[in-house]
Amino acid sequence: MGSRMLDQKGRPVVVVTGIGLVTSLGVGADLCWSRLTAGHSGVKPITRFPTDGLRSTIAGTVDDFDITPTSAYDLSMAMAEAAASEAIVQARIGSVSRFPGPLIVATPPSELEWPHLDRLHDHDPGGDLTGYQRILANARTGLFADLAKHVRFAAIADRLQERFGTQGEPLSICTACASGATAIQIGLESIRRGDADAALCVGTDATVHPEGLIRFSLLSALSTANEDPKKASRPFSKRRDGFVMAEGAGALVLESYDAAKARGAKILAVVRGCGEKADDYHRTRSSPDGAAMIASIRRALADAGVSPEEIDYVNAHGTSTPENDKMEYLSLHAVLGEHLARTPISSCKSMIGHTLIAAGSVEAVLSVLTLNTGVLPPTINYDEPDPDLPLDVVPNTSRTARVSTVLSNSFGFGGQNVCAVFSGEPA
């Protein structure tokens, strides 16, 4: 065997050889990318369920799959399968039913939704039972075993493993809105350790249902700009008023550089490094000094062996909440300093909304596409800049640029901060 490709810390270089994507702009990375770089928005009024009386009635739903009745499990599953399949086909890795590495999948909450609770409650078990006693009595009949998939926390991982033949116990992970990035980080670490030559990293989320929407609404996290849905998500702009819930899935095939080269695979990008740091300040807000966010960015750069000046573009977390965008600016400024003014930073959430658990996966795929095409996706709806956040957000229209190294940020409730650095193929 020839010499191994190691990074400057002596670890195997890890590359991306396949990507797959589903967003509110469509199914497939190419389709999503063409619409995204054209500045289209996938945000629209919700038609899946009645929105009477709700403060937010818009979302970036994915309506391309024929799933009736729909559920978070079924749609998350379908999107994850589509994205993973696309990534595996592109990577030309393994065989149809055998992926030569582990599966790491970021999945949304596994829970019964109201149509399921209604079904369980409507059946008459006899007697005068009410509430959960009645539901439990009905569950005991075994007539509702089809609902188990909604409450098994690894059900999505299980089915993906069966479909794609991934190796070993699949991991189901949750780090809130950083989950997709965590999946990539775990895959990266595994390949660096030499535990695997390849990993399938997937993030998926389809939780636009009444309770899902209302929960975020009650935390005052959502935009209420319902009248013009495509204009609702306004990251970094002065009048941003919350994020727009969205659905989507992203998948990446990671491989060691050596394994990819050995089989003649096309290398799409290098995963240079990841960094994470937990915040201890608050359940939904980051520490006012941005310490944990700053640490996660610094750790990502350090892990990648990349200086702040080498970052050519930032794929922002950019949720469009007043809090996130302010803190993200502050943190980037702390790490990149003067270089930030020269660094374009855009938020794809302006167009596809916030895909929550999947966001880190989706945006990693978009970061790879930026490296591959030299096109920076825009931040749309940037009509009124926030003067406190002086950033080049690639306003409203995409731009071509030479991009060698991208920083992708993911921040989540519960103090979760994960950042990833991607570069083009090493010369």
Partner 1 sequence: MAKACDQVWITGIGLISSLGEGAALHWNKLCGAGTLRPVIDPQRFAPYTVHPLADIDFSKQIPRTSDQRQMERWQRIGVYAAGLALADADIAGDQELLEKTHLCIAAGNGERDIALDSRILAGNHADGAQGAYLNQNLATGLRPTLYLGQLSNLLAGNISIVHKATGSSRTFKGEEMAGASAVADAVNRIEAGQGEVFLVGGALNAEREDVLLGCELAGSLYSGPHHSVWQRRPQGGGLVPGSVGAFLVLEAAEHARRRGVVPYARISGIVSDRSRRRVGEASSVAASLFKDLRLNPANEDIGVLSGASGVEPATSEELQFLAELERQKFKPVVRAWGSALGHSLEAHFFAGLALASLAVSNDAFYPPFDAFEDKGDAKSHPDRVLVTTFGHWRGEALALVQSAW
Catalytic residues: 177, 317, 354
Closer Cβ to partner 1, 119 or 339, answer by number: 119
Residue 51 C-beta: closest distance to partner 1, Å = 7
State the SS3 of 81-135: HHHHHHHHHHHCCCECCECCCCEEEECCCCCCCHHHHHHHHHCCCCCCCCHHHHH
Residue 227 C-beta: closest distance to partner 1, Å = 19
**Per-residue tokens: 236:** 């970094």
Residue 259 to residue 256: CA distance in whole angstroms = 5
Residue 343 C-beta: closest distance to partner 1, Å = 26
80 closest CA partner among 212, 168, 210, 206: 206
Residue 69 C-beta: closest distance to partner 1, Å = 14
Closer Cβ to partner 1, 55 or 238, answer by number: 55
| DSSP label of 395 | B
Residue 297 C-beta: closest distance to partner 1, Å = 14
**Per-residue tokens: 102:** 């582990």
**Per-residue tokens: 142:** 């075994």
Closer Cβ to partner 1, 89 or 148, answer by number: 148
Closer Cβ to partner 1, 283 or 402, answer by number: 283
Closer Cβ to partner 1, 28 or 210, answer by number: 210
Task: Identify any residues that bridge with 345 across adjacent strands, giving them in sequence order.
Answer: 314
Q: Is 123 buried (19+), middle (13-18) or exposed (0-12) by CB count in 10 A?
A: middle
Residue 193 to residue 200: CA distance in whole angstroms = 16
